[in-house]
Amino acid sequence: MTRARALAALVITLAGGPAGAGGFVIPDIGVRRTAMAAVVGRPDEGSAIYHNPAGLVLQHGWHAYLSLGLAVIRSEFQLHSWADSDRFLGVTPDSNGYYQPIKPTRAMGVIPMLALTGELIPDKLVMGAALYVGNAQGAGFAPDAVTRYQLIDGYVVAPQAVLAASYQVTDTVALGASAGILNLRIHGRREVFPIVNGVDISGLTGTRPQLELDGNGWAPSWSVAAFGKPHPRVTWGATITGRVDATMTGPVVITYSDDASVPGDQLKGTQTTTQLIPWTFMAGANVDVTPQLELGAEARYWLYSQYKKQHTDIVGIFLVRELDTIKNYNDSWQVSGGARLHDLAAIPNLEVMAGTHYDRTPAPSSTLTLDQPSFTHIGVHTGVRYTVGRYRIGASYLRYFYSVPTVTDSTTTPPTNFRGSGANHIFTVSVDVSL
């Protein structure tokens, strides 16, 4: 086999690797959302800038708001063998073709938000500014694990800076909008399986050539929203968040392993990938059933069906100029609801909240990858807020129960056929200060 043919086979595998993030938006910002699961219809804290900027009219005076969320993912996978995998992994699967269960060495995310809101015209105009991260998550497996040809480590981080405003148009309706800038960063590292389309390239690259890819890009973001109070005990809200196409550019490096013909030799280039963050539609309503009991419900819909493939341009690796990774996503949706107890006679400054949600994943099983998996799940929300003087302090716990499919039709290279289980534990604390 010629060197050119082997290199061509090697770079083809970029299409199945960590060439981009999943782009999944994390809606769990702020204690009102993580504790009650119903925030769009009554966003009474600084996280309104994210969920429904029109609801900023509920913020009277000036407020500083800080929310800190930590997502701790617990999962276990059994990877299914594929052609020639035993030869290079050095282990044997069970009688059903699965390797021993494996857990990530790292699987977590952070969900921070810092916001400042101010009532510029009493009962009429409220402005806000915020820094938050709508997606910051990553995972890693041991470098010698059976998953090393799918993922060693990877992450996606998407911080945003946003300005927002809300104006009380009539006594019962307020309109709002936000505009900002998003920075999307990705990183991925894995080994390249040295059998590509039946061609053995290990004689040139070694049995464990490593692929490392990074990307960084900026894009504008915006939303428009409405908030209404048609009755003293009823509120509603709706938000449209615009589609974002973030173009990320960064280096891509393939390093030959120690048993290669030229150990440590490298292929270096740059990649440019456009990542879709879809249109999002949100609506919700909240009702005060009694002076102490509030019920709320909301729905969110993401137009991920526009995400059919991910396109990457390659510069510097002469054998390939572009790659298309098939995604074939479906639209995704979530329904949620919950309750809030407040103004209780025994503890008037305490709010107790609970709720639940159901979230349908956009990702078909055939295109799932371990660097950014997405699973249908049920969430259970609980939390409290307590007001003392100028401070309102909140804390919540949210658990995802993942429905992990048994994947048998993977189209990645090499195949990511697996079965498993998992859960996500999200802990959030917040402080709202009246200035």
Residue-range domain boundaries for the chain: 3-434
- pLDDT, residue 20, reads 34
> For residue range 33-83, what is the model confidence (pLDDT) as tens digits?
999 999 999 999 999 999 999 999 999 999 999 999 999 999 999 999 999
Give the dihedral sign, CA 86/87/91/95: positive
Residue 329 has phi, psi (to 5 degrees) of: -70, 155
> For residue range 137-159, what is the model confidence (pLDDT) as tens digits?
889 999 999 999 999 998 889 99
Contact 26, 221 (CB under 8 A): no
Residue in the structure block whose two tokens are 């129960």: 401
- pLDDT, residue 321, reads 78
User: Which token pair is 297?
Assistant: 């419900």
Rounded-to-integer distance, Cα 343 and Cα 160, Å: 35
Rounded-to-integer distance, Cα 31 and Cα 293, Å: 17
User: Which token pair is 91?
Assistant: 């282990």
In this prediction, residues 255-278 reach a mean pLDDT of 90
CATH code reported for the domain at 3-434: 2.40.160.60
Helices (H), 73-124: 85-89
Q: What residues pair up with 323 in beta bridges, in sequence order?
A: 312
> With pLDDT > 90 as the criterion, what percentage of the chain qualifies?
75
Average pLDDT, the chain: 91
Rounded-to-integer distance, Cα 381 and Cα 357, Å: 8
Residue 21 has phi, psi (to 5 degrees) of: -85, 165
- pLDDT, residue 275, reads 83
In this prediction, residues 23-29 reach a mean pLDDT of 72
Residue in the structure block whose two tokens are 């428009």: 224
Sequence-separated (6 or more) residues with CB below 8 Å from residue 95: none
Q: What residues pair up with 272 in beta bridges, in sequence order?
A: 249, 313
